[in-house]
Chain A
Amino acid sequence: MYKKVTQEIIEKLEKVVGQKNLTHDREKMEDYSHDEFSLKDIAKFPELVVKPEKTEEVAEILRLANTEMVPVTPRGGATGLTGGCVPLYGGIVLSLENMNRILEVDLDNQMAVVEAGVTLSEFYQAVEEAGLFFPPHPGEESAMIGGLIATNAGGARAVKYGVIRNYIRGLEVVLPTGSVIHLGGKLMKSSTGYNLLNLIIGSEGTLGVVTQATIQLMPSPRVMRSLIIPYDELEKAIETVPLLIRKRILPLAVEFVPKDVIQITEEFLKKRWPCTQGSTYLLIILDASSEDEIDRLSEEVAETCMEKGALDVYVADSPKKQEEVLDIRSKIYEAIKSHTLEVLDISIPRAEIARHVKKVQEVSQKYKIWLPTFGHAADGNVHTHIMSARFEGGKIVSLPEEEWKTKFEKVREELYKDCRNRRGVISGEHGIGIVKKSYLSYVLDEETIELMKGIKRHFDPQNILNPGKIFD
């Protein structure tokens, strides 16, 4: 039903974005055929890549694509893990990389206005230079603002500060028909009509192309401290978390990580984790307004952890040490990526984590497959990595393809069923994209999915914008 990108379309688009911002050279389009999802079989080449510099150009591109029935896949930093920016039906990849201006950091309103192609690292830098703070830390800093909004990215700091959704105050969006709409603004409050702003956030580029965002900032916390806490059993580590919550201690982040993946990442990065004791670690990041307060908080955390059987409590105080620890945690995926089939992104009530992780261990033993599991212990978002390997005696042992292929499906099914039983969802922060869409019905009512499809049809009657994502 879709039409191919013709020479005529190319010429028209060349007039819109200019020759230098358009390519259909196959070699140059390779980068635009995939994201960070590890299996290459979902990759798909676009027929054309365009890199507009202005909102009007985006509008022009969509208007033309809508008339010509050519699918358009918007794309940011392509650091996604679900194939969300893969042009499933070919057509045009609309890369926002040239729309990378930080338009304003407004100190009086504590908000920034940026274009969608600004990378997270550029954004952090601009915010820091203005003396402010953008709390979410979704990990990969080459991600772009547009993509973070499309997936409603989260990250480790969600426990205390929430996810991207909580910081987006306004959006400029180009609809699939080519009209431009403005949602929200530099506003703290709005009860004016349906909240389409939040409908766009997390819609994975299926309803419109975000070109500009107004983002809430915060004052920087004065002091930050990371605690690294070894345990000899994973259960004890995870069971500490509800105790902290009951004591009303709200850390910036609580991560749990098993030692095996830490060791592999240490080796990969040539960096050293603060301690070698134990078999599993909690990484707890605290922030406070004074040294005394952070001491008091750390003591309370340490006491609670020791009650639950922690072996010791190590401290990373200086920004450099904290960065080193966080870097090891953030780069685990890179270190084990070559053997990773898929990173699950299950989100469950946080009190269920210990039981869910236990289930993961059972499944791992049952299928004799390595399922390293770590993630955000205090917000219920668990990243189980399904590996094409076993882990034996500190070494990764690859499985033959025919073996992992059958196990991959079964493992996914069992874990998603467990997720459903615990009233969870299959994605907490990565989105559904291509790779998780066949499991959507595990956790959403049929009517809910139908409503979503109806919304999609209303926004994009011809289904030209990022087709084949979230659902078919």
Chain B
Amino acid sequence: MNICVFVKRVPDTEAKIRIDHETNSISEEGINFILSPYDEVAVEEALRLREANGGTVTVVSVGNEEALTTLKKCLAMGADEAVLVKDETPETYDGLRTAKILARAVEKRFPDYSLLLFGKQSVGADNAQIPAMVADLLNLPQVNVVTKLEIDGNKGIAHREIEGALEKVSFSLPAVVSAQKGLNEPRYETLKGIMAAKKKEIPIVTFEDLGLKEEEVTPLLEITKLESPPQRQAGKIIEDEPEEAAKQMVKFLHEEAKII
């Protein structure tokens, strides 16, 4: 079974994000970039499925050459090959644009793939649009935010946690599945893996190679302003004897916070 995993290079979740107001984007200075954590879960799942059923795992990213580091990491984890779809445009936040690029890449380069795995969303934009959009563009069944995945021949069963219950969805392959945390615990790379990954070539595919015309990749979304959320106000500390403090607390919750 051949599996394609789509990954994104994102700012480290621990990084302090600063906004560059001139370009209306995130300032990349001093920020550490990582493989998006949900994508990492998707890669891990692909590797486990390959270990159980054979086949190949191909990792694809759309972005500039900085994304090669992210792809190398996936190779170090054990992916068979990686492909970069080169896109020099800065972050567009246009999910449909990326979905169109990915869908075209699948049609042109990976027509015989039976499973397309995604993280349920990237961290950063957090839009969670692309898996569903790619599935629709390719007319494939899709299950999103999956916490357990079983594949048996041409069929799959995916578990999703929904409000107060567990949903089991059965589907036929090929299909799109997006990974939620908890689906697995991603492995640590081994040094052997890192060294082997260093030696692997990562082919770079251009929009031209995929037959994408300029109007197809023109962002339809324009970012007019990017701002940090307002700073949270400091909490209120009541210092007094327990009995008195409790009274003040109740008064505060009732009169100011209006919760009770």
Which residues of A are at the interface with B, using a C-beta cutoff of 8 A?
227-228, 272, 274-275, 295, 298-299, 302, 312-321
Nearest-CB distance from A103 to chain B (Å)?
24
A298 near B12: Cβ-Cβ < 8 Å: no
B188 near A299: Cβ-Cβ < 8 Å: no
B185 near A314: Cβ-Cβ < 8 Å: no
24 example contacts (A-B, Cβ-Cβ < 8 A) are as follows A227-B191, A228-B188, A272-B185, A295-B195, A295-B198, A298-B194, A302-B192, A312-B192, A313-B190, A314-B188, A314-B189, A314-B191, A315-B76, A315-B188, A315-B194, A316-B188, A317-B73, A317-B189, A319-B12, A319-B14, A320-B13, A320-B14, A320-B34, A321-B188
Per the bound structure, the CA–CA distance linking A318 and B123 in Å amounts to 15
Nearest-CB distance from A228 to chain B (Å)?
7
Q: What are the interface flags for B183-202 relative to A under an 8 Å C-beta threshold, 1 for contact and 0 otherwise?
A: 00101111110110010000
- Residues of chain B contacted by A275 (CB below 8 angstroms): 188
User: With contacts A295-B198, A299-B195 known, is A315 near B190, CB below 8 A?
Assistant: yes
Nearest-CB distance from A323 to chain B (Å)?
8
B191 near A313: Cβ-Cβ < 8 Å: yes
- Residues of chain B contacted by A312 (CB below 8 angstroms): 190, 192
Per the bound structure, the CA–CA distance linking A298 and B190 in Å amounts to 11
| Residue in A closest to B33 when the chains form the complex, CB atoms | A318
A318 near B32: Cβ-Cβ < 8 Å: yes
Per the bound structure, the CA–CA distance linking A321 and B185 in Å amounts to 12
Per the bound structure, the CA–CA distance linking A462 and B60 in Å amounts to 75
- Residues of chain B contacted by A227 (CB below 8 angstroms): 191
- Residues of chain A contacted by B189 (CB below 8 angstroms): 314-315, 317
- Residues of chain B contacted by A313 (CB below 8 angstroms): 190-192
User: With contacts A319-B14, A319-B32, A320-B13 known, is A298 near B188, CB below 8 A?
Assistant: no
B190 near A320: Cβ-Cβ < 8 Å: no
Nearest-CB distance from A412 to chain B (Å)?
38
Nearest-CB distance from B48 to chain A (Å)?
15
A295 near B32: Cβ-Cβ < 8 Å: no
Per the bound structure, the CA–CA distance linking A228 and B187 in Å amounts to 12
| Residue in B closest to A227 when the chains form the complex, CB atoms | B191
| Residue in B closest to A301 when the chains form the complex, CB atoms | B191
Nearest-CB distance from A364 to chain B (Å)?
31
Which one of B34, B188, B194 contacts A295 once the chains associate, using CB atoms below 8 Å?
Answer: B194
| Residue in B closest to A325 when the chains form the complex, CB atoms | B188
Total number of residue pairs linking A and B with CB closer than 8 Å: 44
Contacts A314-B190, A315-B189, A317-B73 known; 15 new A-B pairs at CB < 8 A: A295-B198, A299-B195, A302-B191, A312-B190, A313-B190, A313-B191, A314-B188, A314-B189, A315-B194, A318-B12, A318-B32, A318-B34, A319-B12, A319-B32, A320-B34
Q: What are the interface flags for B5-45 relative to A under an 8 Å C-beta threshold, 1 for contact and 0 otherwise?
A: 00000001110000000000000000010100000000000
Nearest-CB distance from A421 to chain B (Å)?
38
Nearest-CB distance from B185 to chain A (Å)?
6
Per the bound structure, the CA–CA distance linking A302 and B190 in Å amounts to 10
Contact residues, B74-117 vs A (CB, 8 A) = 76
Per the bound structure, the CA–CA distance linking A312 and B189 in Å amounts to 11
- Residues of chain A contacted by B195 (CB below 8 angstroms): 295, 299
Nearest-CB distance from A313 to chain B (Å)?
4
User: With contacts A272-B185, A318-B34, A319-B32 known, is A299 near B14, CB below 8 A?
Assistant: no
- Residues of chain A contacted by B190 (CB below 8 angstroms): 312-315
- Residues of chain B contacted by A321 (CB below 8 angstroms): 188
- Residues of chain A contacted by B34 (CB below 8 angstroms): 318, 320
Per the bound structure, the CA–CA distance linking A319 and B13 in Å amounts to 10
Per the bound structure, the CA–CA distance linking A274 and B189 in Å amounts to 9
| Residue in A closest to B198 when the chains form the complex, CB atoms | A295
| Residue in A closest to B16 when the chains form the complex, CB atoms | A129
Per the bound structure, the CA–CA distance linking A314 and B189 in Å amounts to 6
Q: What are the interface flags for B180-224 relative to A under an 8 Å C-beta threshold, 1 for contact and 0 otherwise?
A: 000001011111101100100000000000000000000000000
- Residues of chain B contacted by A314 (CB below 8 angstroms): 188-191
Per the bound structure, the CA–CA distance linking A299 and B198 in Å amounts to 12
- Residues of chain A contacted by B185 (CB below 8 angstroms): 272
- Residues of chain A contacted by B192 (CB below 8 angstroms): 302, 312-313
Per the bound structure, the CA–CA distance linking A302 and B188 in Å amounts to 15
Counting from the closest, the 10 A-B pairs by CB-CB distance are: A274-B188, A313-B191, A314-B188, A302-B191, A315-B189, A318-B34, A312-B190, A314-B190, A315-B191, A298-B191
Per the bound structure, the CA–CA distance linking A317 and B73 in Å amounts to 10
| Residue in A closest to B189 when the chains form the complex, CB atoms | A315
- Residues of chain A contacted by B191 (CB below 8 angstroms): 227, 298-299, 302, 313-315
Nearest-CB distance from B94 to chain A (Å)?
28
Nearest-CB distance from A27 to chain B (Å)?
12
Per the bound structure, the CA–CA distance linking A318 and B189 in Å amounts to 11
Contact residues, B155-195 vs A (CB, 8 A) = 185, 187-192, 194-195
Contact residues, B96-155 vs A (CB, 8 A) = none
| Residue in A closest to B40 when the chains form the complex, CB atoms | A318
- Residues of chain A contacted by B194 (CB below 8 angstroms): 295, 298, 315
Per the bound structure, the CA–CA distance linking A93 and B185 in Å amounts to 48
- Residues of chain A contacted by B32 (CB below 8 angstroms): 318-319
Nearest-CB distance from A418 to chain B (Å)?
35
| Residue in B closest to A303 when the chains form the complex, CB atoms | B191
Nearest-CB distance from B65 to chain A (Å)?
15
Nearest-CB distance from A52 to chain B (Å)?
20
Interface centre among B13, B185, B190, B198 (most CB of A within 10 A): B190
Nearest-CB distance from A314 to chain B (Å)?
4
- Residues of chain A contacted by B13 (CB below 8 angstroms): 320
Per the bound structure, the CA–CA distance linking A366 and B191 in Å amounts to 40
| Residue in A closest to B30 when the chains form the complex, CB atoms | A131
| Residue in B closest to A274 when the chains form the complex, CB atoms | B188
Per the bound structure, the CA–CA distance linking A272 and B26 in Å amounts to 32
Per the bound structure, the CA–CA distance linking A175 and B189 in Å amounts to 54
- Residues of chain A contacted by B198 (CB below 8 angstroms): 295
Per the bound structure, the CA–CA distance linking A275 and B34 in Å amounts to 21
Nearest-CB distance from A187 to chain B (Å)?
31
Nearest-CB distance from B129 to chain A (Å)?
25
- Residues of chain B contacted by A318 (CB below 8 angstroms): 12, 32, 34
Per the bound structure, the CA–CA distance linking A302 and B14 in Å amounts to 29
Per the bound structure, the CA–CA distance linking A317 and B190 in Å amounts to 11
